[in-house]
Amino acid sequence: MPEVFLATRNAKKLGELRRILEPLVPGIAVLGLDDVSAYDEPVEDAPTFAGNALLKARAGVLATGLPSLADDSGICVDALNGMPGVLSARWSGQPKSDDRNNALLLDQLADVPDERRAAHFACALAFAWPDAAADGGVAEEVVTGEMHGRVARSLSGTGGFGYDVLFVPDGCDVTSAELTPEQKDAISHRGKALRAMAPRVVDVLAGR
Q: pLDDT tens digits, residue range 112-155? A: 999 999 999 999 999 999 998 888 899 999 999 999 999 999 99
Using alpha carbons, select from 163, 137, 161, 160 the residue that is nearest to residue 149. Answer: 163
Mean pLDDT score, 7-14: 88
Q: State the pLDDT at residue 115.
A: 96
Q: pLDDT tens digits, residue range 148-175? A: 999 999 999 998 889 999 999 999 999 9
Q: Which one of the listed residues 34, 40, 71, 72 is annotated catalytic? A: 72
Q: State the pLDDT at residue 68.
A: 97
Beta strands in 34-107 (DSSP E): 68-77
Using alpha carbons, select from 146, 150, 148 the residue that is nearest to residue 124. Answer: 146
**Euclidean distance between CA atoms 199 and 101, whole angstroms:** 35
Q: Is the CB of residue 29 less than 8 Å from the CB of residue 2?
A: yes
Task: Indicate the length of the chain as a whole number.
Answer: 208
Q: pLDDT tens digits, residue range 35-68? A: 999 999 999 999 999 999 999 999 999 999 999 9
Indicate the number of domains in the chain: 1
72 has catalytic annotation: yes
> Residues at the annotated binding site for substrate?
8-13, 73, 161-164, 184, 189-190
Say if pTM beats, i.e. exceeds, 0.85: yes
- Give the C-alpha distances (Å, rounded to integers) separating 62 from 7, 10, 20, 21, 186: 12, 21, 25, 22, 32
Beta strands in the chain (DSSP E): 3-6, 29-31, 68-77, 118-130, 138-151, 167-169
**Which domain covers residue 143, as residue numbers?**
3-205
Q: State the pLDDT at residue 17.
A: 84
> Residues at the annotated binding site?
8-13, 72-73, 161-164, 184, 189-190
pLDDT(196) > 80: yes
Helix (H), strand (E) at residue 195? helix 189-205
Q: What is the CATH number of the domain that holds 164?
A: 3.90.950.10
Q: Is the CB of residue 72 less than 8 Å from the CB of residue 123?
A: yes
